[in-house]
A and B are shown apart, each in its own frame.
Chain A
């Protein structure tokens, strides 16, 4: 109910905050490594490349 803080919820929210931010960084680190792998494994060539300008 709005208006009175529940300490149990607050501690749980802190945990969600920590795990959530950590989870996003871990997930995107894996995506980052995946992109590095993709760009190494499939480098752009003249036939099917698309230059970003």
Chain B
């Protein structure tokens, strides 16, 4: 039987950490299929986590005696798609094509709600530094608070953080858990009376010229103020310009569906490259997962407090919950908070306000990502 020993090389190389990663991968697949939590990403990440943790897996780079280093497909995709920032940036074209900035253009005050809800990024950065992470790793962890997967990947990869794997898992997991995290955090800091505040919506017409000039203008403004955010915001606004131009409907549809789907497909499984047991099963991973939750709670709470602060000076009070919709998790956050409003008062329709704040959060999170890259040398 000894001559068949080569069939056991994989089994002999297996360790308990790899088995633990299989369980984590299976857990992510379970959440994707059974709970419908961000299935487009958690399922590929989960399966990828299993594939890269099979001993001697040819999915990742392996040193094969007699051949040297043989490149695995997942490491290849990581080097070409994430290390070069290609996947997150191309995904932004699709996201830009999906977003209708109409509710924001008809009520631009919502931009400030988007700005306030980025506090989670910086609050978490500070907390991560206090816990002993170096500044670049702390910034990469803080950006989980952007509630925006591609921005998190972009920033963490820019700083060449060794925690890209846990950061991605935390970012996408918590985005899918927005319906649980945000109501919990909002209820902690608001009263029932505040949650029942009605905000009448007066629909305003937005001209086509405004819709076309908006993505061009935002790119110019962001580019001049925070040049390092331009690759993110430029691609986002490029997608939106395609959508609003009215002459590229076919490209707009492709960007929204085929392009976004294709990149998402590869993005998920490629992230698994950074989920190999030796790097992933660490105490730091647990701390990062915890900090990710803190980031989302900070975003939500600070967004609420910002509106409460504004209410001190305004006659027509705003519902503080709308401030929490300023995070970038679009459109989930807008829907969740709208439903919370309806639950408190079945006649309280907050949706158009929350959508406005939510798309503002998309712009603000990208600018925040660019500013962090610019400010941390």
Name A residues whose Cβ lies closer than 8 Å to a Cβ of B: 1-6, 9-10, 12-17, 19-21, 23-32, 34-36, 38-39, 42-45, 48-53
Contacts and interface: CB of A to CB of B under 8 A. Distances in A.
23 contacts: A1-B134, A6-B132, A9-B135, A13-B138, A14-B126, A15-B375, A16-B372, A16-B375, A17-B122, A17-B126, A20-B121, A20-B368, A20-B371, A23-B225, A24-B367, A28-B111, A32-B109, A36-B108, A38-B214, A42-B209, A44-B207, A48-B209, A49-B205
B262 interface: no
Contacts of A3: 131-132
Contacts of A25: 112, 115
Interface string B178-204: 000000000000000000000000011
Contacts of A13: 125-126, 129, 135, 138
Given A10-B130, A31-B363, A39-B204, 10 more contacts: A2-B132, A2-B283, A3-B131, A13-B126, A16-B125, A20-B371, A23-B226, A35-B105, A39-B210, A42-B207
Interface secondary structure of B, over-half rule: helix
Contacts of A15: 375
B17 interface: no
Nearest to B113: A28
Contacts of A10: 126, 129-130
Contacts, number: 157
Interface residues of B, number: 57
Given A31-B111, A32-B111, A35-B108, A21 B207 contact: no
A27 to B, nearest CB: 5
Given A16-B139, A25-B115, A34-B221, A52 B209 contact: no
B284 interface: yes
B211 A50 contact: yes
Contact of A53 (B105, B130, B203): B203
Contacts of B218: 31, 34
A20 B352 CA distance: 28
Interface of B: 102-106, 108-109, 111-112, 114-115, 118-119, 121-123, 125-126, 129-135, 138-139, 203-211, 213-214, 217-218, 221-222, 225-226, 283-284, 287, 352, 360, 363-364, 367-368, 371-372, 375-376
A5 to B, nearest CB: 5
Interface secondary structure of A, over-half rule: helix
Contacts of B375: 15-16, 19-20, 23
User: Chain B CB within 10 Å — which of A2, A5, A28, A44 has the most?
Assistant: A28
Contacts of B130: 5, 10
B167 to A, nearest CB: 14
Given A9-B129, A52-B102, A20 B203 contact: no
Contact of B134 (A9, A29, A49): A9
Given A16-B376, A24-B368, A50-B206, A42 B123 contact: no
A45 to B, nearest CB: 7
Contacts of B221: 27, 30-31, 34
A52 B206 contact: yes
Contact of B367 (A12, A27, A44): A27
Given A10-B126, A28-B114, A42-B213, A52 B204 contact: yes
A35 B208 contact: no
Contact of A32 (B108, B138, B204, B211): B108
Nearest to A48: B208
Closest 4 pairs (CB-CB, A-B): A44-B205, A17-B122, A42-B209, A49-B205
